[in-house]
Amino acid sequence: MPFLTLLALALALAMDAFAVSLATGICLRTPTTAQALRMAGAFGFFQAAMPVIGWFLGLVVRSFVESYAAWVAFALLAFVGGKMIWEGLQAKDEDDSCPPKDPTKGSRLLLLAVATSIDALAVGLSFSVLGQAIWFPALVIGVVCFIVAGLGVRLGCMIGHLAAVSRYAELLGGATLLAIGVKLVL
């Protein structure tokens, strides 16, 4: 996979993490460096680990779907991209209340990190089905997510209209995943 395509994929996968990080930054008002690093570290780690897990799961099913590999990858990316676009188009209340506890700690952070990286599991499965290597892409995906999530926390305290920013980030991420899926089929 060309590096620019991999970078676009990593950015698309990081959009959920960016939206959550941005919301966290808004809620925290003045996030500390430790809070930003905790969130970015957890999001980056799970965003890198999930494609590897998906890749290993794909080894199990690869022999069954090898002749349809491009279509399976397209279907997985189209599903994830379509889901992101759907969520981006849904009306969101700009007055969502902030959680009472620090979302950059404990089980709350773990839940957010896993929830925002589930789509990366499907990408790893796609890579496996296509016979693509996983270690370098997983590293790039994790590093990009770390950077994007860290920026999201920091930018969150400066941005007042979360719903519009979150919606556009999800729409852009979903459209990018769909485009990569179409490119695989073509």
What tens digit of pLDDT does each residue of 93-130 get?
544 555 567 788 888 888 888 888 888 988 999 899 88
Sorted by sequence, the CB contacts under 8 Å of residue 58 that are 6+ apart come out as 124, 125, 126, 127, 128, 129
Domain ranges of the chain: 3-26+33-92+104-185
pTM over 0.85, yes/no: no
pLDDT of residue 165: 57
pLDDT of residue 162: 47
pLDDT of residue 49: 97
What tens digit of pLDDT does each residue of 66-96 get?
667 667 767 766 776 677 677 767 755 544 5
77 phi and psi, to 5 degrees? -65, -40
What tens digit of pLDDT does each residue of 21-65 get?
887 887 777 888 999 999 999 999 999 999 999 999 988 877 776
132 phi and psi, to 5 degrees? -85, 150
